[in-house]
């Protein structure tokens, strides 16, 4: 499958208009959309071996509602017991929706205009929800933005959400989600599955909207790919794409030719962070890893890191790496392919000054994380290092760290996409914004949404593991953007695999090292057909 495209939902109305102006029949598109909804439902019920074929479909007045009418027609013809409720007066239905409404009305008499202020209709609706095996939400589509839902629509959504043990299917996007950013507009349908058309919408994959979308299935309704390619470049990588973008090892490969990574990390009390970055770099295929550390901690690291070489340097009074070690580190870096800076390095001002000078003077691919990120916003020498080139750098902040870098109070979940673009453009680096659905963005705004991993990763040290994985790929010669994308994917996949044994709650960062091994077993079987 490779890559899956994602768009802001607001693009869809424009794409529909362009398709129609180019001669694509809008009724044909609506028919394809509705038929996909019914096809998914029929398949699910067949797999569940359910004999209960009763369903409720709630349609709004727009095209989303028309998709619901088409699904109803197809399900009724297949022998399902379907009750349809529509929320807008017939005279306000759009042309295509009205066309399929009339076809539906001639086929079945279980079609009701839903006005919950009418007690009789409300009781019929309530009973239908209770008796149904599944519910189809076709109330609002991708055109809902910004304003909160109120009145009858809000009440209907809350009635749907209060049903128990029902399969709730949303058409294109759960009603109540802003399709551009995932914001919940007061309330939203909490779906079991969302059948979305053409491509995924950003509101379906970005939290909090992603929590409401359930399983998302993107289906082809006949819109040519060319119409999607002229908008923002947002993608989701699949496992085969990750596999293809990792380097292939030749039979004659040896350690000096498969990547040498220099890790600059560690301070008193934070030796674990540096160690985990080194361990994960080795687990991810780096041939050689060397850790630059304060001299007083060298014995600790030599005992902890059997396979990693250490390079002790001058230290501060706080036992962090001192600025005076700059020349030694610059000379040492000439023997390495890439750098990983930051895990446990401390926020000592001498150390942060050192980090800034390394970023300015060593232009090898670099991943910058944790305390090292403070070098981007800590006090600087006026006029000397206000601006410098960071095009060789990948940063891996969480939302709190990125907000400090940009001088913001807070980054909301629905702001993450736009703000990550802002950061990448401002500093000309690649920004890996960690969190629920990690975002990987480069300065031209191209963004990947990572689909692996979940809240099991919300534990100390997992970011250090990610730093090591990305650093390892940089050392192996993988392109910076691909290193970040593949690193985030493998990091999340390692968690998905190992948390099945540890539980999500009990997983700790070092468990990921075993997960990385299992992930690469899968990747190697794919890459080397073994």
Edge-to-edge strand order for the sheet containing 111-113?
A: 111-113, 81-86, 54-59, 134-138, 167-171, 193-197, 215-219
- The whole-number pLDDT of residue 110 equals 86
User: 156 and 214: one domain?
Assistant: yes
CA distances in angstroms from 46 to 35, 53, 376, 426, listed in the order given: 16, 10, 56, 52
Tell me whether residue 446 is in a domain. no
Closest to 341 measured CA to CA, from 404, 257, 281: 281
Q: Mean pLDDT for each consecutive 10-residue tract of the chain (530 residues)?
A: 91 92 95 98 95 95 96 96 95 94 88 94 96 97 93 96 96 98 97 97 96 97 92 96 93 88 98 98 98 98 96 98 98 98 97 96 97 85 63 97 93 95 96 96 98 96 98 98 98 98 97 98 90
User: 286 and 146: one domain?
Assistant: no
User: 396 and 294: one domain?
Assistant: yes
Number of domains in the chain: 2
Three-state DSSP at 349 gives helix
| Beta strand pairing call for 111-113 and 81-86 | parallel
Residue where a domain terminates, one of 199, 231, 263: 231
User: 389 and 273: one domain?
Assistant: yes
d(CA 65, CA 34): 10
Q: What is the dihedral of CA 226, 231, 237, 238, to 10 degrees?
A: -30
User: 205 and 265: one domain?
Assistant: no
d(CA 95, CA 114): 20
Closest to 8 measured CA to CA, from 350, 447, 389, 503: 447
Dump pLDDT digits (tens) for 464-478: 999 999 999 999 999
User: 206 and 259: one domain?
Assistant: no
Residue where a domain terminates, one of 465, 481, 497: 481
CATH number of the domain to which 117 belongs: 3.40.50.10260
Tell me whether residue 141 is in a domain. yes
- Please work out, in degrees rounded to the nearest 5, the angle formed at the alpha carbon of residue 61 by the alpha carbons of 60 and 65: 50
Based on DSSP, count helices (H) and strands (E) in the chain, helices before strands.
18, 19
User: 218 and 350: one domain?
Assistant: no
Tell me whether residue 4 is in a domain. no
- The whole-number pLDDT of residue 385 equals 53
- The whole-number pLDDT of residue 530 equals 63
User: 258 and 390: one domain?
Assistant: yes
User: 34 and 108: one domain?
Assistant: yes
Residue where a domain terminates, one of 466, 481, 496: 481
CATH number of the domain to which 407 belongs: 3.40.1190.20
Contact (CB, 8 A) for 241 and 452: no
Whether the bond between 208 and the residue before it is cis, its omega within 30 degrees of 0, is yes
Contact (CB, 8 A) for 377 and 346: no
Tell me whether residue 184 is in a domain. yes
d(CA 186, CA 149): 6
- The whole-number pLDDT of residue 379 equals 65
d(CA 438, CA 216): 17
Q: What's the full length of the chain, in residues?
A: 530
Gyration radius of the chain's alpha carbons:
27
| Beta strand pairing call for 234-237 and 3-7 | antiparallel
What is the pLDDT of the chain when averaged over all its residues? 95
Dump pLDDT digits (tens) for 296-334: 999 999 999 999 999 999 999 999 999 999 999 999 999
d(CA 488, CA 453): 9
Dump pLDDT digits (tens) for 194-219: 999 999 999 999 999 999 999 999 99
Name the burial class of residue 386, with classes exposed (0-12), middle (13-18) and buried (19+) by CB atoms within 10 angstroms of its CB: exposed
Edge-to-edge strand order for the sheet containing 430-433?
A: 200-201, 3-7, 234-237, 447-449, 439-441, 430-433, 393-395, 366-368, 338-341, 260-264, 288-294, 309-313
- Residue 440 — φ and ψ, nearest 5°? -120, 115
Tell me whether residue 449 is in a domain. no
Tell me whether residue 356 is in a domain. yes
What is the extent of the structural domain holding 362? 253-436+457-481
Closest to 200 measured CA to CA, from 250, 246, 142: 142
d(CA 230, CA 73): 34
Tell me whether residue 493 is in a domain. no
User: 295 and 184: one domain?
Assistant: no
Q: Where are the alpha helices (DSSP H) in 326-458?
A: 326-333, 349-361, 399-406, 416-427
d(CA 210, CA 216): 9
**Number of Cα atoms under 13 Å in the Cβ half of residue 454:** 11
Three-state DSSP at 381 gives coil
Dump pLDDT digits (tens) for 131-169: 999 999 999 999 999 899 999 999 999 999 999 999 999
Closest to 338 measured CA to CA, from 310, 358, 318, 316: 358
Closest to 291 measured CA to CA, from 430, 282, 391: 282
User: 157 and 24: one domain?
Assistant: yes
d(CA 269, CA 319): 9
User: 368 and 224: one domain?
Assistant: no
DSSP sequence for 153-183: HHHHHHHHHT-SS-EEEEESS-TTB-TTT--
Tell me whether residue 530 is in a domain. no
Three-state DSSP at 291 gives strand
Residues in Cβ contact with 520 at an 8 Å cutoff, skipping those fewer than 6 apart: 283, 284, 285, 490
């Amino acid at each position: 499958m490779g890559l899956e495209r994602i768009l802001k939902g607001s693009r869809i109305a424009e794409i529909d208009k362009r398709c129609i102006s180019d001669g694509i029949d809008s009724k044909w598109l609506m028919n394809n959309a509705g038929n996909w909804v019914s096809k998914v439902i029929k398949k699910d019920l067949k797999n569940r071996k359910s004999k209960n074929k009763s369903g409720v479909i709630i349609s709004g007045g727009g095209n989303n509602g028309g998709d619901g009418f088409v699904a109803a027609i197809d399900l009724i013809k297949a022998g399902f017991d379907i009750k349809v409720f529509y929320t807008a007066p017939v005279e306000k239905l759009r042309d295509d929706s009205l066309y399929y409404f009339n076809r539906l009305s001639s086929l079945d008499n279980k079609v009701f205009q839903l006005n919950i202020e009418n007690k009789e209709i409300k009781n019929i609706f309530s009973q239908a929800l209770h008796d149904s095996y599944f519910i189809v939400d076709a109330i609002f589509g991708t055109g809902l933005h910004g304003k909160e839902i109120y009145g009858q629509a809000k009440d209907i959504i809350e009635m749907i959400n209060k049903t128990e043990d029902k399969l709730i299917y949303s058409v294109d996007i759960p009603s109540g989600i802003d399709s551009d950013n995932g914001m919940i507009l007061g309330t939203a349908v909490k779906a079991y599955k969302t059948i979305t058309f053409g491509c995924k919408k950003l509101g379906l994959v970005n939290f909090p909207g992603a929590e409401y979308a359930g399983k998302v299935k993107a289906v082809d309704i006949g819109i040519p790919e060319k119409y999607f390619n002229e908008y923002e470049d947002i993608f989701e990588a699949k496992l085969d794409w990750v596999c293809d973008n990792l380097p292939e090892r030749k039979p004659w490969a040896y350690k000096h030719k498969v990547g040498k990574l220099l890790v600059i990390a560690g301070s008193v009390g934070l030796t674990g962070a540096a160690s985990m970055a080194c361990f994960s770099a080795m687990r991810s295929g780096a041939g050689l890893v060397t850790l630059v550390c304060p001299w007083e901690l060298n014995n600790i690291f030599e005992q902890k890191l059997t396979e990693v070489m250490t390079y002790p340097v001058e230290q501060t009074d706080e036992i962090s790496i001192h600025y005076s070690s700059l020349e030694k580190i610059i000379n040492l870096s000439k023997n390495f392919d890439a750098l990983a800076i930051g895990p446990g390095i401390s926020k000592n001002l001498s150390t942060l000054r050192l980090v800034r000078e390394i970023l300015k003077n060593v232009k090898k691919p670099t991943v910058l994380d944790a305390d090292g990120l403070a070098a981007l916003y800590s006090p600087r020498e006026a006029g000397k290092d206000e601006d410098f080139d960071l095009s060789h750098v990948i940063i891996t902040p969480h939302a709190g760290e990125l907000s400090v870098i940009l001088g913001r109070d807070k980054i909301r979940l629905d702001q993450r996409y736009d703000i990550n673009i802002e950061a990448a453009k401002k500093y000309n680096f690649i920004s890996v914004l960690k969190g629920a659905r990690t975002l990987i963005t480069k300065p031209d705004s191209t963004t990947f949404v990572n689909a692996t991993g979940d809240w099991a990763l919300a534990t100390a040290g997992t970011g250090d593991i990610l730093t090591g994985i990305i650093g390892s790929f940089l050392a192996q010669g993988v392109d910076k953007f691909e290193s970040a994308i593949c690193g985030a994917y493998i990091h999340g996949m390692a968690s998905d695999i190992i948390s099945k044994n540890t539980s999500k709650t009990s997983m700790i960062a070092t468990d990921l090292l075993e997960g990385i091994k299992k992930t690469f077993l899968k990747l190697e079987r794919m890459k080397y057909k073994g």
